[in-house]
Structure 1
Amino acid sequence: MGRLLTIMQRLRDPQHGCEWDVAQTFDSIAPYTIEEAYEVADAIARRDMAEIKDELGDLLLQVVFHAQIAEDIGAFDFKDVVTSISDKMERRHPHIFGDAGHSGHHLWEQIKADERRAKAANGALDGVALGLPALLRAEKLQKRAARTGFDWPDEEGPRAKIDEELREIEDAGPDTLAEEFGDLLFAVVNWARHRGIDPEAALRTANGKFERRFAAMEAEAGEAFAALDLDSKEALWQRVKHRDG
């Protein structure tokens, strides 16, 4: 860890460092941080241990990069980051590191809620990061609202909401169509949550399945694929889908 911190310090050195690294800010690095987190998730999905190792390293570098930027402006340093998360983990696990009973694991959400109140949050939805992918953020917003009792009692409510949103899309004009589609996606996320499904992971799996099957279509048809009419492409898709299971 010390070696990595030293490398980043040298890269960020104003006189002798890398020009690109010196020019970076929290804002410019944030998209890379998000990208690296998704590359870790992709490597995990593929169960590629070598890639998981490499991608975790890339993600760790992002943490070190942000910490060095903060140190450069006198805000905090990497040690402060480690201390903060260590304190948090001990605080949120009183049944392991404190004197709470072994069943104290149920205190996790209560402790998190107490911490949010201590930060003088304005409402239950405060603190859900704006930079999250929209699908994931929708789920987190719904979970936060559900903790206040604002939630359907069962899955029938969100399922009926999907039908309602579909009707509103049919009736929408050009100025409201995009908004209504957003409402539909939000409702689908809500239904998935009630069914115990992670919508972000489900969509990631669907993306991967589409990529795999489309590539199989291209491989089977060869150079003639683009010239096939839609009916021929659909027939090819069904064959590929049947083989793919």
Structure 2
Amino acid sequence: MGLDRLDNIMKRLRDRETGCEWDSVQTFETIAPYTIEEAYEVADAIHRGDMDALVDELGDLQLQVVFHARMAEEEGHFTLADVLQRISDKLERRHPHIFGDAEQGGHHLWEVIKAEERAKLDDKSALAGVALALPALERAAKLQKRAARTGFDWPDIEGPKAKIREEMDEIAAASPEELEEEVGDLLFAVVNFARFLKIEPEEALRKANRKFEKRFRQIEQAPGFRDMSLDEMEELWVAAKKAPADA
């Protein structure tokens, strides 16, 4: 009932004659950034433990699904019902121990079934299907995990550690034209190191961003902050790091 109502609302908004002047002219490409943004706002509400915000953000994210499905139906590609049918079929297919006759399931079986599905695609690479639109750190981690399943991986964590040192040396020797590529290689190596530690780099950096923001907002409240020397600012920073509220 609720999903049908939302679909009908979007259908009216997309009407080229009587609909909304903004919604009616959007495309997959113009809406895609909003889809990504809404997913992050859902994650932010969850992190803050704000259930009132979460119900709003989940609605906004659901709107993105309906929006894309409505545009696809207008162009004759697929409908919202097709989207729901596809995900329902996928969930049942990947959980044969629940919906089929398999005796055991779990994440390993899920990955086996996903690999079998990928094998049927035209792109036979182990890296097929890793979305280009993912945040760069997350995509790097997924690419590395896929490659590792083929055996292309370091035998232990000493490999990634040495690679980080190697990339730092290459940055030191790089020309201005080479710096961007070398810094990218360093970030890729750090992601690999995080993978060996079983740490999700995207989440680790997100937490580091929050920590930096919290501390900086704290120290910039000091009287005369913008006129302080760097050493004075550093003293405030060290004090903020030791504050119990930041533990």
TM-score by length of 2: 0.96
Over 6 Å off, 4+ runs? none
**1:47 correspondence with 2:43:** no
Deviation track 1:16-36 (CA, whole Å, cap 9, x = no partner) reads 100110110000000010111
Q: CA deviation at 1:111?
A: 0.8
Equivalent residue, structure 1, for 2:239: 239
Equivalent runs, 1:87-166 vs 2, <5 Å? 87-103=89-105, 105-166=107-168
Deviation track 1:65-92 (CA, whole Å, cap 9, x = no partner) reads 0000001111101000000000001001
**1:201 correspondence with 2:183:** no
CA distance in 2, matches of 1:21, 1:2: 18
Deviation track 1:141-169 (CA, whole Å, cap 9, x = no partner) reads 00110111111122111111101111111
**Bigger mean CA offset, 108-117 vs 185-194:** 108-117
Q: CA deviation at 1:241?
A: 1.2
Task: Report if the CA contact (8 A) 1:93-1:105 is conserved.
Answer: no
Q: How many residues align?
A: 243
Deviation track 1:204-224 (CA, whole Å, cap 9, x = no partner) reads 0000001111111122x14x1
Q: CA deviation at 1:119?
A: 1.5
For residue 162 of structure 1, what is the amino acid of its counterpart?
A: I
Task: Report if the CA contact (8 A) 2:69-2:80 is conserved.
Answer: yes
**1:217 correspondence with 2:219:** yes
SS in 2 for 1:102: coil
Task: Report if the CA contact (8 A) 1:94-1:104 is conserved.
Answer: no
Q: Which runs of 5+ in 2 are unaligned?
A: none
CA distance in 2, matches of 1:104, 1:11: 42
CA distance in 2, matches of 1:56, 1:22: 23
CA distance in 1, matches of 2:90, 2:118: 13
Q: Work out the percentage of aligned pairs sharing the same amino acid.
A: 64
Q: CA deviation at 1:53?
A: 1.3
For residue 144 of structure 1, what is the amino acid of its counterpart?
A: R
Equivalent residue, structure 1, for 2:19: 17
For residue 107 of structure 1, what is the amino acid of its counterpart?
A: L
Q: CA deviation at 1:104?
A: 5.8
CA distance in 2, matches of 1:14, 1:103: 48
TM-score by length of 1: 0.96
SS in 2 for 1:10: helix
SS in 1 for 2:182: helix
CA distance in 1, matches of 2:81, 2:91: 15
Task: Report if the CA contact (8 A) 2:167-2:185 is conserved.
Answer: yes
Equivalent runs, 1:28-47 vs 2, <5 Å? 28-47=30-49
Select the structure that is richer in helix.
1
Deviation track 1:44-81 (CA, whole Å, cap 9, x = no partner) reads 11111111111111111101100000011111010000
CA distance in 1, matches of 2:218, 2:106: 50
SS in 2 for 1:65: helix
Task: Report if the CA contact (8 A) 1:36-1:55 is conserved.
Answer: yes
CA distance in 1, matches of 2:58, 2:182: 38
CA distance in 1, matches of 2:52, 2:27: 30
Provide the alpha-carbon RMSD of the alignment: 1.1
Q: Which runs of 5+ in 1 are unaligned?
A: none
Task: Report if the CA contact (8 A) 1:12-1:21 is conserved.
Answer: yes
